[in-house]
């Protein structure tokens, strides 16, 4: 039994002084002046107590462009934990032969035994036929109630609008939630061909060949498909003010569409892609303009987005040069693969450990969002939408004791050393932070204590997720 005493609880509902009593893996009591009898006591005076972060969008150990994302289900989970996130959800690719079940088994083989925080899976549907249609409802028995479809990556991952509509109809019948990568694959293909033919091979052409209007069109089209299928919809990694406008438009008209944005779209722009090391910022969809940063912040502040996830999919900037990771030299091919051709730069960036510390200082500290919104976007809402609430995302009797003891006074200059992501760069290197996770508990076990890693590969539990709720 553990009693965390005299902290200030920060939840999606409010902030208040209270103690938390933990028995085994669960919170059993929350309130002021709890009796310490029989319990070890941890003094949290001056500290904030928050539910562990829930990141519903990661890509660990994902093969892409002749390489693999550089965090696996251990290193990525460890980085998540150091940043205060105790639950992650990873996307399972559909296999070449189409079988969803075999894909899920393959992803369990990668994650089971490595996982260091609790985790769940979403399924990617990238080829549709009668066998796949039969398999989709069976995902529920595997603990997967959510599936992602792509409107881009023609000839590889994309489904046609009619197929997306058919899947939406099907999953609606089972209470499942479709997720959408909203870009215009046809326009992207034309623009990429034209850019390469004109000899434009540098990183900024990644963004120039994926114009913002393509995302605006795709968000509206996806929302309209969901409306016609009477299905809810979750749109991942929304990156522009125009997309936020379409989300608002659809929600105001009663469409059950929910939106996720990510820190990279709040803090960075196409200008970063034009830097000599611009490949570090390449992900899909790309960064947009500074006006989009402000427009997205306005939509976040107005609660028009439901979630801030990460789309964590890291690669080395220079995968020919090893870094030290847990006493070993590690080098994994990365962004240098596309040094002469932006279409060969692996898409994705590191973010899973950065999300909470960066949003705390530059969101809450900067007065853009309240502490309640911080917990709502990064923990409570994803737990609700993805069928985990109040086990996750809450500090209530019966919730898992996933608790972050947050030091609101700690000041530091942030970077790779703090984030523990297994790559050779951090997009926030040198940023000044005030407020940082001090101790992190996963189901009652302390897994991070300051700079010390107390977690272990295999310490995470697979979350057999049920149906979530529309918020
Ligand atoms: O560039 C990105 N985001 N890579 C991950 C795959 C995806 O579409 O989310
Ligand atoms: Zn995507
Ligand atoms: Zn993604």
Instruction: Report pLDDT for 372.
Output: 98
Mean pLDDT of 435-454: 98
Split at pLDDT 50, 70, 90, the class of 77 is: very high
The residue whose CA has the least distance to atom 2 of ligand 1 is 348
Question: For residue 325, what are its two tokens?
Answer: 């990771």
Contact indicator for 20, 3 with CB cutoff of 8 Å: yes
Share the mean pLDDT of the chain. Answer: 98
User: What is the rounded distance in angstroms from the CA atom of residue 166 to the CA atom of residue 431?
Assistant: 46
pLDDT in tens, 242-264: 999 999 999 999 999 999 999 99
Against a cut of 0.95, is the pTM above it? yes
Q: What is the pLDDT of residues 185-196, one digit of tens each?
A: 999 999 999 999
What is the model's pLDDT at position 90?
98
Predicted confidence (pLDDT) at residue 93 exceeds the cutoff of 90 = yes
∠ CA 236-242-243, nearest 5°, is 15
Q: Is 397 helix (H, G, I), strand (E, B) or coil?
A: coil
Candidates 50, 51, 147, 52; CA nearest to 352 is 52
User: Ligand 3 center to residue 57 CA distance, Å?
Assistant: 6
The DSSP secondary structure of 426-450, one letter per residue, reads -TTTT-EEEEEEEEEEETTEEEEET
The pLDDT of residue 264: 99
Please give the domain boundaries of the chain with CATH numbers for all domains. 2-50+394-453 (2.30.40.10), 53-385 (3.20.20.140)
What is the β-pairing status of strands 2-10 and 53-58? unpaired
Q: Which atom of ligand 1 is nearest to the CA of 236?
A: 9
Q: What is the pLDDT of residues 208-235, one digit of tens each?
A: 999 999 999 999 999 999 999 999 999 9
Confidence (pLDDT) at 96: 87
pLDDT at 97: 84
DSSP 293-361: HHHHHHHHHTT---EE---B----SSTTS-EEETTEEE----GGGGTT-GGGSPP-B--TTTHHHHHII
What's residue 227's pLDDT?
98
Residue 201 pLDDT > 90? yes
To which H or E segment does residue 171 belong? helix 161-173
Q: Rounded to the nearest whole angstrom, what is the distance from the C-alpha of residue 350 to the centroid of ligand 2?
A: 15
**C-alpha 38 to ligand 2 mean position (Å):** 49
The string of pLDDT tens digits covering residues 59-68 is 999 999 999 9
For the residues 306-324, what does the mean pLDDT come to?
98
Q: Which of 56, 57, 58, 59 to mutate to test the pocket of ligand 1 (most atoms within 8 A of CB)?
A: 59
Return the closest-CA partner of residue 458 out of 442, 471, 440, 444.
442
Residue with the smallest CA separation from ligand 1 atom 4 is: 348
Question: Can you give the pLDDT at residue 173?
Answer: 96
Confidence bin at 448 (pLDDT 50/70/90)? very high
| Rounded distance between C-alpha atoms, residue 439 and residue 84, angstroms | 8
Assign 98 a pLDDT band (cuts: 50, 70, 90): confident
d(CA 144, CA 165): 20
Residue 422 has pLDDT above 90, yes or no: yes
């Amino acid at each position: 039994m553990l009693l965390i005493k005299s902290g200030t609880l920060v939840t999606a509902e409010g902030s208040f002084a209270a103690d938390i009593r933990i028995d085994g893996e669960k919170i059993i009591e929350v309130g002021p002046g709890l009796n310490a009898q029989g319990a070890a006591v941890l003094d949290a005076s001056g500290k904030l107590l928050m539910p562990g972060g829930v990141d519903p969008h990661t890509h660990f150990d994902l093969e892409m462009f002749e390489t693999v994302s550089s965090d696996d289900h251990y290193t990525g989970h460890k980085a998540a934990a150091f940043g205060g996130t105790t639950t992650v959800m990873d996307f399972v690719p559909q296999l070449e032969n189409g079988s969803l079940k075999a894909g899920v088994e393959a992803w369990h083989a990668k994650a089971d035994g490595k996982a260091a925080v609790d985790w769940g899976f979403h399924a990617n549907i990238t080829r549709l036929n009668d066998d796949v249609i039969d398999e989709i409802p069976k995902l529920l028995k595997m603990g997967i109630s959510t599936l992602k479809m792509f409107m881009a990556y023609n000839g590889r991952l994309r489904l046609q609008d009619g197929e997306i509509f058919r899947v939406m109809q099907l999953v609606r019948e089972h209470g499942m939630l479709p997720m959408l990568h909203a870009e215009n694959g046809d326009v992207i293909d034309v623009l990429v061909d034209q850019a390469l033919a004109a000899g434009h091979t540098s990183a900024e052409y990644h963004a120039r060949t994926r114009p913002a209007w393509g995302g605006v069109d795709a968000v509206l089209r996806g929302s309209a498909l969901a409306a016609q299928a009477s299905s809810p919809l979750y749109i991942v990694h929304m990156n522009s003010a125009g997309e936020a406008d379409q989300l608002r438009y659809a929600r105001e008209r009663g469409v059950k569409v929910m939106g996720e944005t990510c820190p990279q779209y709040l803090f960075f722009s196409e200008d970063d892609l034009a830097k000599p090391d611009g490949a570090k910022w390449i992900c899909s969809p790309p960064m947009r303009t500074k006006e989009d940063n402000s427009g997205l912040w306005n939509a976040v502040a107005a609660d028009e987005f439901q979630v801030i996830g990460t789309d964590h999919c890291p690669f080395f900037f220079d995968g020919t040069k090893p870094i030290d990771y847990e006493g070993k030299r590690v080098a994994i091919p990365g962004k240098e693969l596309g040094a002469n051709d932006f279409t060969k730069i692996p898409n994705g960036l590191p973010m899973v450990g950065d999300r909470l510390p960066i949003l705390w200082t530059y969101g809450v500290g900067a007065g853009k969002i309240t502490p309640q919104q911080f917990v709502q976007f990064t923990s409570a809402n994803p737990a609700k939408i993805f069928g985990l609430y109040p086990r996750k995302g809450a500090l209530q009797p019966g919730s898992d004791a996933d608790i972050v003891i947050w030091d609101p006074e700690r000041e530091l200059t942030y970077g790779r050393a703090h984030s523990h992501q297994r790559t050779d760069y951090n997009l926030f290197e040198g940023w000044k932070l005030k407020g940082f996770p001090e101790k992190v508990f996963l189901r009652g076990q302390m897994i991070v204590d300051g700079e010390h890693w107390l977690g272990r590969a295999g310490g995470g539990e697979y979350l057999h997720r049920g149906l979530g709720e529309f918020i």
